[in-house]
Amino acid sequence: MMASFMSYFGGRRDAKQTSRNAIVTLRQQLQMIDKKEEYLQKKIDEELKKAKTNAVANKAAATAALRRKKATEQELERLQGTRFQLEMQVNTLEAATFNAETMAAMKQAGGALKDIHNNFSIAKVDETMAEIQEQTQLANEVSEAISANNYAGVEIDEDELKAELAEIEQDELNERLMGADHVPLHQPAGPSKVEDRWQPAAEDDDEEAQLKELQAALTM
């Protein structure tokens, strides 16, 4: 009871919950209006039916029925005006609630961004990027130094290297020419055909050697 009393006189209230409660109440009221409109429309139809029934036989009754019908129509019209106002309030509250929730979400997101960027500044970002670039350049220089000429510090005469290379090249050419001089001018005898099969020429050489040995033995 005390909470309700304080709330009524401007005590601290939850705006979101208050808005939701109001929307629920308005929708309940709209449901009641639906039922009442249905009742009034039914009453209008009944009075019109009575007027038609008594239009010839009892004009007084027909006139009274039309008056009641007219009054009911005016009541229905006022009720429809009330419906329109309630629907506008519901739409307004729902839009306001949606906007409030959207603003709350945006505010929360803004606070999160502020917390993230609290320790950031353009100067710090530039400084960090400069440090990264410096370290990257240093790493590249170290890699180049490691992969550089392993003979650094050794004095080498380039002209002497060229002369030695030319000498080695000439020696290689001479060896190739000497090898070409020892190449036989004719090809070794090809295979011979014995008993319809090709036999290597080495067999003929063996026979010739045996014949020479036999001749030498006879002359002794």
- Report how far residue 207's alpha carbon sits from residue 201's, in angstroms, rounded to the nearest whole number: 10
Nearest alpha-carbon partner for 97 in 21, 159, 202: 21
- By the 8 A CB rule, do 79 and 40 touch? yes
- The C-alpha R_g of the chain, in whole angstroms, comes to 59
Backbone phi, psi, residue 193, to 5°: -100, 120
Residues 6 or more apart whose CB falls under 8 angstroms from that of 136 comprise none
Mean pLDDT of 159-173: 83
Q: How does pLDDT run across 13-38, given as a tens digit for each residue? A: 677 788 889 999 999 999 999 999 99
| Predicted model pTM | 0.46
Topology of domain 12-117 in CATH is Helix Hairpins (1.10.287)
- By the 8 A CB rule, do 79 and 26 touch? no
* Range ranked top by mean pLDDT from 71-85, 167-181, 201-215: 71-85
Q: Between 147 and 78, where is the model more confident?
A: 78
Q: Which residue has the tokens 């208050």?
A: 18
Q: Using CB atoms within 10 Å of the CB of residue 72, give its burial: 0 to 12 exposed, 13 to 18 middle, 19+ buried.
A: buried
Q: How does pLDDT run across 89-129, given as a tens digit for each residue? A: 999 999 998 898 899 899 999 888 888 878 777 888 888 88
CA dihedral 175, 181, 186, 189 (to 10 degrees): -50
101-105 contacts, C-beta under 8 A, 24 or more apart: 101/16
